[in-house]
Amino acid sequence: MDTITRTTGGSLARLAAWAQRHRWLAVALWGLVLIGVTFTSQLAGSAFHDDNSLPGTESQQVVDLLENSAQSGASAQIVLKADSGLAANRAPIDAMLGEVRSLPHVRSVSETTLSPDGRIGYATVTFDAASTDLPYDDIVKFADTAKRAGPVEVGLAGDPIERISGGGGPAEGVGLLAALVILVFLFRSLLAAGLPVITAVFAVGSTLGVITVVSHFVDIASYTAPLMMLVGFGVGVDYALLIFSRYRTEILAGHDRDAAARRALDTAGRSVLFAGTTVIIALLGLLALGLGGLRGVALSVALTVLMTMVASVTLLPALLSLFGRRLERGIRRHALRREHGKAWRRLADGVQRRPLAPLAVGLIVLIGLSIPAAGMRLGFADASTDPAGSTTRKAYDLLAEGFGPGFTGPLAVVAEDGNPVALQQKLASTPGIARALPPMGRTVLAFPATSPQDEATAELVTRLRTEVLPTLPGHYLVGGSVAAATDFADAVADRLPLFVLVVVGLSALLLMVVFRSVLIPLKAALLNLLSIGASLGVMTLVFGDGWFGAQPGPIEAFVPVMIFAIVFGLSMDYEVFLVSRMHEEWRRTGNAQLAVREGLASTGAVITAAGAIMVLVFGAFLLDPSRMLAQFGLGLAVAVLLDALVIRCLVVPAIMRLLGARAWWLPRWLDRRLPHFALEP
């Protein structure tokens, strides 16, 4: 057994030494945490809840008014179609509806409403509890019963049906498998490749169990769990990879296994903690938006990143100690560091000889891809974007065919102190509205002539609020899903400057403290914003305009701000990884050009491997049936790809060459006032 000699270095080196001395205890503690929270979460079950409320907005006022006047409980629609006419198939339909009425938790079933040609109809089923409170098995039983209508074609819609139609894709497994393949290729060892993946699995699995239990006490959105895995696996593998790569470097430099682990934690471990902190700050910046539905998501993903940081500096050193002898043999047998270093030195020298060319190419790519983001249209997903062949998509298509494209997204217009009859007449004569129903109390339902996802419907909402309704005496409120999406987009636009200021300002301040520079934080912030703009531009082209066969439509309203927070934090990760090594060389030699070359030579292979892992983990979510998660996956994958290849390998070295020694300039008066925190021991 290897003995641990006197520990030198900072607190992370001492933590690594503790993990080495108590290797089995550290692994056992993590195992107990993972098993304990997983078991507890299985017993408690989940209570995830989507909260898209926006207090103070017009659409939210309509929701509150309608909820106060309506019965509580979820509802679903049974949509029917028979080419021979539903009247000719009345017997099997009535038998099916009778069975549905007798099912548990079914409060009532309405009569079937027929389309003008009698081929399509729907019945509304009202339950005695909210969708999240209905037992899963009872929803499945309802769906199975509703589909037994003889020769009649059946589609189902409503929140309860969405709960049982979500069925996740293979994204998480595919992403982790792809990450493992890249790590094996990088390290030429399955054991070495497995350590970062194991670390990520322990961290993400433990956090997922905690969030599942917490969902009973705090509103956490239903898409939080896959998003946590998306980010957690990406950063977890990356952080462990950075530390293990430095461990390998120290082994090849002649240090023994224990000393190599301590030195890796004392250098790369500091970068991991700093980089993770920037991600957490960016995520918590979402709280500045004041959007209730995003608070639980931001806190959950931030906790995931925190757990990956803790696992990287506690679990990974213990695993390195347990498998150190075998790892060392493999590292020395496949010592490829110098070959990779030569290639990256040549690239750095080439960029520095003619820095303007790679800088211009990189900026043209980033700015060009950012331009489409200016035309991004926000909205909320509906069944029109569900996978073809799903029962919810079938119900949507049937209702649109039988009752018009706007039937599934009616506008609810409330007369607060006006005349509801005059309101109905005005709406019925307004271009863009296919039909306005007679008033139900103070509310009039108006069906647009276009689908909820159509841009013309959003324009109709704006026109009603600004041009049509102000001509009537009294005050009116326009609600509905399209109106809510419009209000959400407006709320984000109003609060976005504060959000950007908080995230960019705090992150830049942290970089200034660490690197003792004014220009490096400014450069990092601008390039990060460009990578975010480019990722949103690509997402707009694919999901907004329908490139590569995707169904065109609006981008999910909260996706861009989530991508901003996550990508800004991840971009700061790569900035820290690269520039910290440049800073280390600058402090050692005082040669700015040499610092750029050696910094890129030391981290280029790791950054590109880490970027490739993140791209594959994030890109795997394009396989998920959820359009929203596919948007997340594409946006994050494109941002990381551009950041790792274009920004870190071309643009940053070019800018650092042009800045020279000025890159590390900090006014003396500011240097005296800023606290000191070094990434190098």
Residues 160 and 222 in one domain: no
Whose structure tokens read 């907005």?
Answer: 57
What integer pLDDT is reported at residue 430 of this predicted model?
Answer: 93
Side-chain-facing half-sphere of 185: CA atoms under 13 Å: 13
Residues 501 and 469 in one domain: no
What 186-192 contacts at long range (C-beta under 8 Å, 24+ apart), as own/partner pairs, is 186/605, 186/609, 187/244, 187/248, 187/330, 187/331, 187/334, 188/330, 188/333, 188/334, 188/336, 189/327, 189/330, 189/331, 189/334, 191/323, 191/326, 191/327, 191/330, 192/244, 192/248, 192/327, 192/330, 192/331
Residues 502 and 660: their CA atoms lie apart, in Å, by 29
What integer pLDDT is reported at residue 341 of this predicted model?
Answer: 61
**CA distances from residue 156 to 74, 125, 136, 397 in whole angstroms, order as listed:** 14, 10, 16, 11
Residues 92 and 153: their CA atoms lie apart, in Å, by 12
Q: Which of 454, 479, 504 is the last residue of a domain?
A: 479
Residue 69 pLDDT exceeds 80? no
For residues 667 and 518, is the Cβ–Cβ distance under 8 A?
A: yes
Residues 504 and 467 in one domain: no
CATH, residue 346: 1.20.1640.10
255 phi and psi, to 5 degrees? -80, 150
Whose structure tokens read 């896959």?
Answer: 226
Residues 451 and 502 in one domain: no
What integer pLDDT is reported at residue 4 of this predicted model?
Answer: 38
Percent of the chain with pLDDT over 70: 94
Residues 181 and 146 in one domain: no
For the chain, give me the number of helices (H) and strands (E)? 24, 11
Residue 481 pLDDT exceeds 70? yes
- Cβ atoms within 10 Å, residue 265: 31
Residues 516 and 564 in one domain: yes
Residue 3 pLDDT exceeds 70? no
Q: Measuring CA to CA, which residue among 515, 491, 603, 540 is closest to residue 52?
A: 491
Residues 473 and 515 in one domain: no
607-615 average pLDDT score: 85
What integer pLDDT is reported at residue 68 of this predicted model?
Answer: 62
Whose structure tokens read 């981008």?
Answer: 555
Residues 186 and 78 in one domain: no
Mean pLDDT taken over the chain: 85
Task: Please report the sign of the dihedral spanned by the C-alpha atoms of residue 285, residue 286, residue 291, residue 293.
Answer: negative
pLDDT digits (tens, 9 = 90+) for 256-290: 888 888 888 888 888 888 888 888 888 888 887 77
Residues 490 and 475 in one domain: no
Residues 423 and 500 in one domain: no
607-636 average pLDDT score: 86
> If pLDDT is split at 50, 70 and 90, which confidence band does 60 have?
confident
Work out how many domains the chain is built from and give that number. 3
Q: Bin 360: left if φ > 0, else alpha if -120 < ψ < 50, else beta.
A: alpha
Residues 475 and 613 in one domain: no
Residue 1 pLDDT exceeds 50? no
On whether residue 35 sits in a domain, the answer given is no
CATH, residue 461: 3.30.70
CATH, residue 85: 3.30.70.100
Q: Which of 147, 165, 183 is the last residue of a domain?
A: 165
What integer pLDDT is reported at residue 7 of this predicted model?
Answer: 45
291-318 average pLDDT score: 88
Q: CA torsion angle for 293, 294, 296, 302 (degrees, to 10)?
A: 170
**Could you tell me the residue range of the domain that residue 279 belongs to?**
171-380+486-673
What integer pLDDT is reported at residue 171 of this predicted model?
Answer: 61
